[in-house]
């Protein structure tokens, strides 16, 4: 997570996470787990169940990360996606 995200209060961060969960839900993803990491660059781990298809995850990720906009990279510096079938 970026310094900008980490500077937010706990309440502001929790509000962001709730907003991101709603974006996931809008794209047909179910949030199964949200937590922190140890020993890797990424600042958190999120496990989603993709109900529709892989394209729905791609659409979600574009909106969640604000890809293609000036806000891209505002809260996340590193993203890693691991698909499990």
Q: What pTM, to 2 d.p., does this model score? A: 0.77
Q: What is the rounded CA–CA span in Å between residue 48 and residue 72? A: 21
**pLDDT at position 3:** 85
Mean local confidence (pLDDT), 5-29: 90
Mean local confidence (pLDDT), 23-47: 86
Q: 66-84, pLDDT tens digit by residue?
A: 988 888 888 888 788 877 7
Q: 37-50, pLDDT tens digit by residue?
A: 888 877 788 888 98
Longest alpha-carbon distance in the chain: 36
- Reading phi first (left if > 0) and then psi (alpha if -120 to 50, else beta), residue 73 is in left
Mean local confidence (pLDDT), 41-60: 84
């Amino acid at each position: 997570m970026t310094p900008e995200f980490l500077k937010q209060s706990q309440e502001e961060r929790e509000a962001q996470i709730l907003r991101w969960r709603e974006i996931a839900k809008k794209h047909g993803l179910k949030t199964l787990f949200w937590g922190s990491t140890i020993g890797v660059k990424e600042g958190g781990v999120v496990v989603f169940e993709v109900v529709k298809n892989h394209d729905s995850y791609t659409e979600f990720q574009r909106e969640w990360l604000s890809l293609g906009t000036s806000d891209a990279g505002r809260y996340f510096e590193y993203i890693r996606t691991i698909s499990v079938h």
